[in-house]
Amino acid sequence: ETGVTQSPTHLIKTRGQQVTLRCSSQSGHNTVSWYQQALGQGPQFIFQYYREEENGRGNFPPRFSGLQFPNYSSELNVNALELDDSALYLCASSSRVTGGVSGELFFGEGSRLTVL
């Protein structure tokens, strides 16, 4: 059983650019959630994808968008990067079938984005 993998692990962008982060969910998991962790804070919920549709969004602007593919992998896209977007972006997968409504999340190691 493969775990959650994210790419790239580190990247540097400049203000105004766009970035795409990728996540492969754990085998058998149909739900992917994205979190942003800024320095000194806990992870903050960005949005969740289930059956290729966005299923809930946190307090993030529309320039944060995503996709989920038929194999349940997912992308997080951020347009018009700002300095405050510098953070660790975590992807987490879960299963609504086996985990139920209280299912634990399985996280990747994150993508560290630095915006200069």
Partner 1 sequence: ILNVEQSPQSLHVQEGDSTNFTCSFPSSNFYALHWYRWETAKSPEALFVMTLNGDEKKKGRISATLNTKEGYSYLYIKGSQPEDSATYLCASPAGGTSYGKLTFGQGTILTVHP
Of 11, 22, 45, 65, which lies in the binding site for partner 1, with binding defined by CB under 8 A? Answer: 45
CB of 44 to partner 1, least distance (A): 7
CB of 47 to partner 1, least distance (A): 9
CB of 101 to partner 1, least distance (A): 5
- Phi, psi dihedral angles at 38 (to 5 degrees): -85, 160
Beta bridge partners of 35: 45, 90
Rounded Cα distance between 115 and 17, Å, is 9
Binding flag, residue 13, partner 1 (CB under 8 A): no
Rounded Cα distance between 33 and 57, Å, is 10
Binding flag, residue 60, partner 1 (CB under 8 A): no
Find, among 32, 19, 30, the residue nearest to 115 by Cα.
19
Choices 25-33, 60-68, 69-77, 78-86 (CB under 8 A): range interacting with partner 1: 25-33
Choices 12-20, 40-48, 60-68, 70-78 (CB under 8 A): range interacting with partner 1: 40-48
Rounded Cα distance between 23 and 93, Å, is 9
Nearer to partner 1, 41 or 71 (CB): 41
